[in-house]
Homo-oligomer: A and B are copies of this chain.
Amino acid sequence: MQKNESQSGNNEVKPLNSVFVGCSLDGYIAYKSDGLEWLDKIPNPEKEDSGYYAFMDRIDALVMGRRTFEIVLGFGDWPYKKSVFVLSNSLKEVPDQLIGKVEIVNGDLNLILQNLHARGLYRLYIDGGQTVQAFLKEDLIDEMIITRIPVVLGDGLPLFGMLNNMLWFEHKSTEVYLGGQLVQSHYIRNRNY
């Protein structure tokens, strides 16, 4: 895996762990048994981009859970140009065609982050419900861009989990996409509260 040259030697880059995720009104990121078919209900004839590509442009790498990784693998073509780090204790190796693009990591999240920062990877896209929850538990999420899909699913994989301490954010902006069906809000962690 390449060091991110654009960041190396730049001491002013601040680490930034970001969440960019779509979820239902009741906070699920996938329906029962990982299903994403419900998302097809949203008509998107123009394949309107709801900020995803601009977000991907400003990150250095992705950190995702094993479950999310396997869902993405199921899509066929590998969609990411940036390096992907998969959090997993069970996976030992990545498929041949992804060597150099994907690395398996595990252990203490702070140590994983130190390691990524040392490699010049500061701006990280944290993806997957359990992974986001693990990062939130250690107050390691700096911003969240949450797109609400206008459905109450009633069951599925939740974005959020239990926390011992509440985490306050500052609302930065809200955009409405897809003819007004998707509401995307951008929140920045406020650690002064």
Q: Could you tell me which A residues sit within 8 Å of B by CB distance?
A: 24-27, 31, 38, 41, 136, 144, 146, 148, 150-155, 159-174, 176, 180-183, 185, 187, 190, 193
Q: Is the CB of B26 within 8 A of A168?
A: no
Task: Check B168 against A150 for contact (C-beta < 8 Å).
Answer: yes
Q: A150-B170, A152-B169 are in contact. List 19 more A-B contacts (CB 8 A).
A: A25-B144, A26-B27, A31-B166, A41-B168, A41-B193, A136-B152, A148-B185, A150-B190, A151-B166, A151-B167, A151-B169, A152-B167, A153-B163, A154-B162, A154-B164, A155-B163, A173-B180, A174-B183, A183-B185
Q: Please give me the residue from chain B that is nearest to A182 by CB atom.
A: B171
B166 touches A152 (CB 8 A): yes
Q: B181 touching A154 by the CB < 8 A rule?
A: no
In whole angstroms, how far apart are the Cα atoms of A104 and B160 in the complex? 35
Q: Which 5 A-B pairs have the closest CB atoms?
A: A154-B163, A26-B160, A150-B169, A152-B167, A150-B171
The verdict on A153 contacting B180 (CB below 8 Å), with A25-B146, A187-B25 known, is: no
Q: Which of A148, A171, A185 has the most CB of B within 10 A?
A: A171
- Residues in B whose Cβ lies below 8 Å from that of A169: 25, 150-152
Which residues of B lie under 8 Å from residue A193 when comparing CB positions?
41
CB-CB < 8 A to A167: which residues of B? 151-152, 154
Which chain B residues lie closer than 8 Å to A146 at the CB level?
Answer: 25
Q: How many copies does the complex hold?
A: 2
A154 touches B165 (CB 8 A): yes
Show 12 residue pairs from A and B whose CB-CB distance is below 8 angstroms, ordered by the A residue: A25-B146, A38-B166, A148-B185, A150-B168, A150-B190, A152-B160, A154-B161, A154-B166, A155-B162, A171-B176, A171-B182, A173-B180
Q: Considering the chains assembled together, what is the distance between the CA atoms of A193 and B166 in angstroms?
A: 36
Contacts of A24 in B (CB 8 A): 166
